[in-house]
């Protein structure tokens, strides 16, 4: 299903941080959803540095996949170990109902947000082994393997390009160049790497804001917005809570709330009660 969507034009994929946010993404008409590793970790009150276990990620993936009828791509960080572990990761996420995974080449012990300093990357050889292991482990050949390289911020643009080519040779279906720093870099990357590409439009990072139409023009079939919903939601909650503390009532922002009726419709309250 996801591969068919890629043939229909540039795909906009917002990030979900739990099942109900994924349901809202589907309700708003998006054709796929991304399970954000940062969103899952931050929702647990943790930084995105690889603290949560595979089992904890898989549980969230199950909740999300069961809540929506659109394909879910899951961020699995570094795959939770080496090639052998990656095999188990693919099997677990495929069993959970996920349509594909995104695997990055950071060193697990030094994992950071892709737009922060201090991250390190593993060797090209090891990452290629992990990608091959992922491809071999999937039962459904339509299960997508997305390889992310964080090399731009560690070894430079050219190294990121060379890694991307090697990852594609190893079997990656899509390449995700993290933290490119200009429109020009995105254009050059697309000119050099012929595998389908995914662009990351996260906020407040190293990448400038580029529109989906602009990405479409330069050949990126997937544009990811991993933390947009999370950040806007958290800021809205903060504002409401400050006003509640100051005024002692929620009357002033009732119009900004999702109503009980709207929430129940979103989660299928009446339908589930009839079962």
Question: Three-state DSSP class for 91?
Answer: helix
Are 35 and 131 contained in the same domain?
yes
The predicted model scores a pTM of: 0.95
Q: Within this chain, do residues 238 and 136 fall inside the same structural domain, yes or no?
A: no
Question: pLDDT at position 272, please?
Answer: 87
User: How confident is the model over 36-73, as pLDDT tens digits?
Assistant: 999 999 999 999 999 999 999 999 999 999 999 999 99
Average pLDDT, the chain: 96
Are 170 and 268 part of one and the same domain? no
**Per DSSP, what are the bridge partners of residue 146?**
102, 174
Domain count, the chain: 2
Q: Which of 124, 122, 125 is nearest to 110 (CA)?
A: 122
CATH of the domain at 36: 3.20.20.60
Residue among 217, 199, 219 at smallest CA distance from 209 = 199
| Predicted local distance difference test score (pLDDT) of residue 17 | 98
Q: Assess whether 164 and 117 both reside in one domain.
A: yes
Cα 134 from Cα 103, distance rounded (Å): 9
Based on the fold, state whether residues 123 and 204 are members of the same structural domain: yes
> Per-residue pLDDT for 3 more than 90?
no
Give me 202's structure tokens. 């996260």
| Domain that residue 157 falls in | 2-226
Q: Are residues 221 and 232 in the same domain?
A: no
Model confidence pLDDT, tens digit, residues 71-114? 999 999 999 999 999 999 999 999 999 999 999 999 998 898 88
Contact between residue 112 and residue 118 where contact means Cβ atoms under 8 Å apart: yes
45 and 126 in a common domain: yes
């Amino acid at each position: 299903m996801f591969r068919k969507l890629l043939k229909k034009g540039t795909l906009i994929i917002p990030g979900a941080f739990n099942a109900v946010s994924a349901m809202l993404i589907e309700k708003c008409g998006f054709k796929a959803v991304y399970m954000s590793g940062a969103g899952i970790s931050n929702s647990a009150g943790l930084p995105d540095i690889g603290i949560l276990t595979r089992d904890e990620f898989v549980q969230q993936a199950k909740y999300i996949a069961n809540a929506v009828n659109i394909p879910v791509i899951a961020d699995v960080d570094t795959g939770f170990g080496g090639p052998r572990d990656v095999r188990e990761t693919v099997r677990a996420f495929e069993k959970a109902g996920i349509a594909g995974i995104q695997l990055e080449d950071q060193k697990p012990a030094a994992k950071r947000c892709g737009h922060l300093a201090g991250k390190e990357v593993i060797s090209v050889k090891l990452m290629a082994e992990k990608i091959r292991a992922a491809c071999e482990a999937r039962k459904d050949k339509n299960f997508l393997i997305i390889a992310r390289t964080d090399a731009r911020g560690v070894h430079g643009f050219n190294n990121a390009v060379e890694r991307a080519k090697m990852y594609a040779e190893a079997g990656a279906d899509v390449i995700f160049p993290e933290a490119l720093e200009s429109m020009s870099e995105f254009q050059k990357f697309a000119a050099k790497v012929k595998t389908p590409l995914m662009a990351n439009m996260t906020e407040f990072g190293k990448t400038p804001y580029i529109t989906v139409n602009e990405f479409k023009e330069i050949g990126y079939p997937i544009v990811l917005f991993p933390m947009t919903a999370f950040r806007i939601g958290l800021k809205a909650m903060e504002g409401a809570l400050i006003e509640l503390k100051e005024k002692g009532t929620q009357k002033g922002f009732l119009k900004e709330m999702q109503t009980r009726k709207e929430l129940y419709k979103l989660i299928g309250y009446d339908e589930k009660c009839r079962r």
